Every structure is written in structure tokens, then in C-alpha cells.
Amino acid sequence: METIVFAVRSETGSRHETNEDAHLADAGLGLFAVCDGLGGHSAGEVASGLAARTLEEHVRTNQNCVEAYARDRQDAGRIEVLEMLEEAAQLASNRIFAMAQVEPEKRGMGTTLVGALLAGSQAFVVHVGDSRLYLLREGKIEQVTEDHNAYNDLVKRRGMSPEKVRARYRLNAITRSVGVQEYVEPDTLMLDLVDGDRLLLCTDGVARAFDDDAKELASLLSADVPERSSAALVKTARERGSVDDATAIVVEVRAAEERRSTRAARIVRARAILAKIPLFHRLEEREQLHILQLLQLVRTAAGQVVIEEGTPGDCLYIVLKGDFRLTRKGQPIRTLVPGEHVGEMALIRNRPRSATVTSATDGELLRLGRENLHTVLRKKHRMAVKILWAMARTLAARLEAAQEGLDALPLDDQDISGELGRPF
């Protein structure tokens, strides 16, 4: 059973008379969030507070779906929890926007939002704006969320050079916020957590102070207790010139002893393997997290058939543990070992499997379903381009290999009236 230890530190900056950051920390609910308000005349404070309250109310109202996922760990439950967090962000945006319409002095108010909902050994993340969530694991820091600001929009999405963007635009101008418009497009994802993981949720009054010093950020976040981490992060941000409101929530996950080593090793192994698969090795670490959240662990017994030749295929399997025999028409082809994968073309086409895969030993596989992948790709266009390009390269390589094999046959054995003669 996982337990949660956390600490919060929030200070008003010199720019405002009141702290326009809002935070939410409820270990019983497993919900943590920070919001950075936008707008003059205390409107930012109103927006951030309303967003935090709306998130808490919506999660509490829908706690049954969170409990169901923590109990059953079903893929449909994972999607339901993520959709529930999206709905919470949308509801907050609706409420803030509606309030601004009847109170003219609050027109244009809004807020950033980053929240983490812990359910069992997973954290469900919802994010809008440039407040951030970091993950610290075994001394290594990783920024999980991607800022919704002008720099990322122009450089990563539109392909402009960083130099040109820095010369012409306000880099930190946010491109998404909760409440400025009636509707908002939040990002969501799920993280697997292991014992000792620490999450940092912070507003830009903290985050910007460490943009060029991830090593120091990791060092401060590694303090012996979360209270010292949160206090040191805000204090150091002030020493480095931060004048904005500064809020930091540090959350530490402590897992049951018997689950620590095996679970941590499996997650590390899965990430390492995923990074080597041609379809995914060009993805950034943050993008790989989106793929990792889709993987389902499948345990197999010796002799169990995983894929049967001639049956429809709709998923990719990655070997995590054990050996798996690959056969075609009853004839052995080779043995799949940990780190290898099979069935990737089933992610893009609905064709019968061309071979049978049987577990030679007790083993573990990671399963990636076509529909789950397509759901993410419909929302993550930049990631979709990378994966589709990798698929095209894989298919081209296979066609080239097949053509070379055909060219090596005597002319009388070549059947040029078959598949290669058909139009695409």
C-alpha cells in the first residue's frame, strides 16, 4: 500500500500585494495542484482559487471512478480518470469565464493549472499553462509537463529557430490558460510511480529560477524531508531574483516493501526498451511517457500462445521477461528475448498475423493496443508525425529487404504478377 508525504510552501512576490497563486494539497483524496492567477485588480487570485476549488469538487464528486481504477487497473478505468480530469479543467474554465462576463473588472482573468491525482501506484496529471510538474527518481530530475507558452509553440510546433523567437517574441507569454476563454484544451497523462519518487508541482515563480540549473533543482528536491525541499526551492528562487509569487508542493511516494524492487526494475526496463524500438526511439522523454501510460503488463505461462498465425492483429507486444518462440506454418523462425518486440505493423493495419508467438518460459510482455495509440496520436500531432514517419521508414526497409530477396532469385522463380505488381 502506497503512502504519501507532502509539504507546501507559497510566498507572495514583490509584484503583487496579495498572493495570486492558489494551491491544493489533500493526501486523503490523493490530489495536489498549483494554480497561478492572471489578471489585474486581484482577478488572478479569484481565478486561481476558483480553479483549485473546482478541481477538488469535481474529483471528490467522481471519486468512485478513481477508486475503481485503483482496485481493478483496467484500461477503460484509466481513460475514465483522465477524462474526468479534463472535465474538471473545462468546468473551471467555464466558471471563471462566466464570472468575468458579469463582473467587467475581472474580464480577461485566468489561471494556469497543474494537478496530480494519485491512485494506487499511478499519478494522473492534468496541465494547462506554464506551471510545471517535475519527477525526481533516484536523483534524476525530469520535467513531465511541457509549457504552453510562445517559445514552445513557435519553436516546437511551428519550426521557427530559437534565435528568431528570442529576438521577436515574449518567450514566457502563455498560449493556454484556464478561464480566459470559455473552453480550454488541457494536457493529461498517467505516470507510473515507484517507492521514493518525488513530485514537484510549482508555479513559474519557482520554475524559472532553475531553467538553466536542473542539477541544483534535483539537489534541493532531494532533501531528507519534503518540508526542507519546498522551503529551499522557494528560498533559492528568491535569491536568484524571482519577483513573482512562488509556490512549491513536494509530494513523496512510499511504497510497500515487497513491491519496491520488482516494480521499480520493471518500469526502468520498460523505458529503456521503449527508447530502442524504431517506432519510438526518436521521441523525447516526455513523449515516451505518453506511450508508457498506454502499456499493459501481460504475464504468460510456458506454452501459452500469445499470437496465433492467421488471426486478426491489433497490438504490439514488447518482451520484458522470458523467451518467446516465433513460428510460421509450424516451422521455427527464431526466439524473441527481452528487449525485442513483435507485431508493430498491427498498430497501423488490420491484417491477419503472419506468425505464431508462443511463450517458451514463464514471461512478461508489454502490450500496446492500436486504439489506445490512436487516441493519443489524435491529440499529440507532433508526436504523431514522428511515429508515422518511423512507421514509413520501417515499411520502406522491409520492402527493400523483400525486393533484394526477390532479385536474388532466378528469373524463372520470380512472380512479378503478384503483390508487387499491384497498384498501391
Residue 287 has what DSSP assignment? H
The candidate with the shortest Cα–Cα distance to 205, out of 239, 176, 242, 173, is 242
Most confident of 1-5, 171-175, 188-192: 188-192
Per-residue confidence at 420, pLDDT binned at 50, 70, 90? very low
Mean pLDDT along residues 282-300: 84
pLDDT tops 60 at residue 260: no
The candidate with the shortest Cα–Cα distance to 203, out of 270, 129, 296, is 129
Q: pLDDT at position 405, please?
A: 65
Please give the CATH topology (third level) of the domain spanning 3-255.
Phosphatase 2c; domain 1 (3.60.40)
pLDDT tens, residue by residue, 296-331? 889 999 999 999 999 998 898 999 899 999 999 999
**In angstroms, rounded to a whole number, what is the distance separating the alpha carbons of residues 134 and 198?**
8
- 318, 296 Cβ separation under 8 angstroms: no
The candidate with the shortest Cα–Cα distance to 243, out of 14, 37, 44, 35, is 14
pLDDT tops 50 at residue 423: no
Residue predicted with more confidence, 349 or 98:
98
Orientation of helix 63-72 relative to helix 75-102, angle to 10°: 160
- 101, 209 Cβ separation under 8 angstroms: no
Q: pLDDT at position 177, please?
A: 95
pLDDT tops 80 at residue 348: no
Where are the domains positioned within the chain?
Answer: 3-255, 263-374
What stretches of 194-278 show up as alpha helix (H) in DSSP? 204-207, 214-221, 226-239, 260-276
Q: pLDDT at position 292, please?
A: 83
* Residue-by-residue DSSP string for 140-176: EEEE-S---BHHHIIIIIT---HHHHHHHS-TT-BS-
Mean pLDDT along residues 43-59: 96
CATH class, 263-374 region: mainly beta
Mean pLDDT along residues 144-148: 92
Per-residue confidence at 152, pLDDT binned at 50, 70, 90? confident
Chain mean pLDDT for the chain? 86
